Amino acid sequence: MIKGGIRMNVSIVLTYQTPKGTEATFHSDEMPASKAMMIAEDLERTGRTKHLIFIDKMENTWNLKELKKFMAEIQTEAHHVTVYFDGGFDLKTKKSGLGCVIYYDKNEKSFRLRKNALVEELHTNNEAEYAALHLALQELAILEVHHLPVTIVGDSKVVINQLNDEWPCYEAELSKWMDRIENQIKKLGITPEYEVVSRKENREADQLASQALKEIQVMGTREVRRE
């Protein structure tokens, strides 16, 4: 982790040239971007590095100058992002409540965004859970979150384990939701880090979903303190 809470891992790929002109290409393990840049600067001081780039998990590439610029610019954009999502389906009304909470840092301050939505076109609780995550990803797009790891937290083992490829997905409707979410993640260029928690640990998003079912609309962002 580097200053400002920006978490980003990259690998170094470099071509090294000996004084007699012999060349070899090396590929490092993943490491924090700040550490990678320090190592790259040290390697370049030897004068024997012919070609050096950085690659992240999404296969985005930078040279040293580009990566420094990117890391500086990201300080003024949303980063250090954690998403909580939850969805609920009411069998009687056939309506679904979606809730999401997004914590992020920007300009050395921390914020919490809360949003919910009431929808009628879904048919199961699992669909509602997927839809809630999709709602959160739409908010990330509005925040212009891009090319960074994002922690995604929920109490739905079905959604998270299917997105993690831990569990198979046989339902056609859920497969459609998986495609929507994976396409949005790819479009944003983010690296999702999924985490399953208990409903108690996901109470903020759960409450928002419940409020949506009661037709209580919530949408707002405020500054918060994060540890």
Q: The domain spanning residue 112 has which CATH number? A: 3.30.420.10
Quote the domain boundaries for residue 90.
79-224
Q: Pick from 4-18, 72-86, 187-201 the range whose average pLDDT is largest.
A: 187-201
The reply to whether 10 and 104 lie within a common domain is no
What's the pLDDT at 6? 64
Q: From the CB of residue 52, how many other CB atoms can be counted at a distance below 10 Å?
A: 18
The reply to whether 115 and 146 lie within a common domain is yes
The reply to whether 46 and 130 lie within a common domain is no
What is the overall mean pLDDT for the chain?
A: 92
Indicate whether 211 pLDDT > 50: yes
The reply to whether 51 and 126 lie within a common domain is no
Domain limit, last residue, from 55, 74, 93 = 74
What's the pLDDT at 3? 34
The reply to whether 58 and 149 lie within a common domain is no
Given a contact cutoff of 8 angstroms between Cβ atoms, the answer to whether 218 and 102 are in contact is no
Tokens of 3: 């200053």
Provide the percentage of residues in the chain whose pLDDT is more than 70: 97
Confidence of residue 212 (pLDDT cuts 50, 70, 90): very high
The reply to whether 170 and 98 lie within a common domain is yes
The reply to whether 99 and 138 lie within a common domain is yes
What's the pLDDT at 20? 83
Taking alpha carbons only, the member of 84, 203, 225 closest to residue 150 is 84
The reply to whether 50 and 146 lie within a common domain is no
The reply to whether 118 and 198 lie within a common domain is yes
The reply to whether 34 and 84 lie within a common domain is no
The reply to whether 219 and 193 lie within a common domain is yes
Is residue 147 exposed (0-12), middle (13-18) or buried (19+ Cβ within 10 Å)? middle
* Number of separate domains in the chain: 2
Longest pairwise C-alpha distance within the chain = 78
The reply to whether 119 and 162 lie within a common domain is yes
Give 34's DSSP letter: H
Helix (H) or strand (E) holding 2: none
